[in-house]
Amino acid sequence: MTIPRLRSAAAALALLAAVVVPAQPAAAAPASYVALGDSYSSGTGTRAYLADGTTCQRSVHAFPALIASAKGYALDFRACSGATVADVAAAQLGALTPSTSFVSVSVGGNDAAFAAVLTECAKPAWMSNCTAAIDRAQAVITGQLPGRLGSLYGQIRARAPQASVTVAGYPRIFNGEDCNAATWFSPTEEARLNATADLLNRTTAAAATAAGFTFRDPTTAFTGHAVCDDVEWLNGLASPISDSYHPNRSGHAVGYVPLIGPALTGAPVAVTTATVQAAELSGPALARDQRAHAAQDARIVPERFVLPDLTSAAARAAAARAGVDLSDAASIARADRAAGALQESRR
């Protein structure tokens, strides 16, 4: 009786082995998100950057990394400090494919040399010409930028035909006062610089709308959080200097994410402690991925604000011409106001 029982058990095992277990469905690949653009997308101003072998100043605290972490997207973080429209076209569009789901982009400020304009306007007016610098920037925005953006947006759509594309604008930096002792922005200059940001946003919005993209203007969101406001979302004169006049971590997490996130993804995006932790944990992988593009990124020239230097030979010569006593702050300020008013009267 033992042998038949053994044979029966063996047959049962064979039958079980022959049963086909249904395969578990493979986990869906995360949606592809490509972040294009300049320092306002890369995260300059957040004071913590990826060790990716570049000067792009990409940060896990920038809005693209926070949105990707909150939604579980696979981020290709191509945005780079200093990028112009031409740089985005030449160095960043290779990240786009027909399977790209989401694209964000901020670009145009460097085409108008906005960092150089800020550098000029931060000097006392007797050693600079802020009015002329702003005029040149506005001429580029109105005369050249529409065609550049139109071409770029067309290339984005051709490479990523199914993607949701959101274009991010630029906030007004100033609130009408200058609380930094080492800069000389007048209220008039600040008003014109803010008006230049508005012009840049209107120009960008028109190009984005023509391309069928969504544009988001951060002006209202950042109101009350400009440089010298009680709660700043934008750095004033910062350390390091390269972080000056860019959104800080709050500017990205509380300013840009609630603005860009819903437009890009179709749903609200919340930045929680877990979101920030996930973004920070993504840093090494993001750095590794972007390190592969370091040679391309090296062609992008960083645009940096430069602190006024009143000890330079040029400053001393300008002071002598204007009759300024460089050892007397009141003398510097009086001459600044007089020279600024003269420049405005000549417009």
Neighbouring CB atoms inside 10 A of 106's CB total 28
Residue 113's SS3 state is coil
Distance CA(257)–CA(237), nearest Å, equals: 24
For the chain, what's the residue count? 347
Distance CA(226)–CA(255), nearest Å, equals: 11
What single-letter DSSP state applies at residue 36? E
Q: For 40, what's the count of Cα atoms within 13 Å in the CB-facing half-sphere?
A: 26
CB 110 within 8 A of CB 303: yes
Neighbouring CB atoms inside 10 A of 235's CB total 21
Strand order in the sheet with 32-37: 74-77, 32-37, 102-106, 164-168, 214-216
**Known catalytic residues?**
39, 246
Distance CA(264)–CA(95), nearest Å, equals: 17
Task: Give backbone dihedrals phi and psi of 25, rounded to 5 degrees, phi first.
Answer: -60, 140
Residue 227's SS3 state is strand
Amino acid residing at 210: A
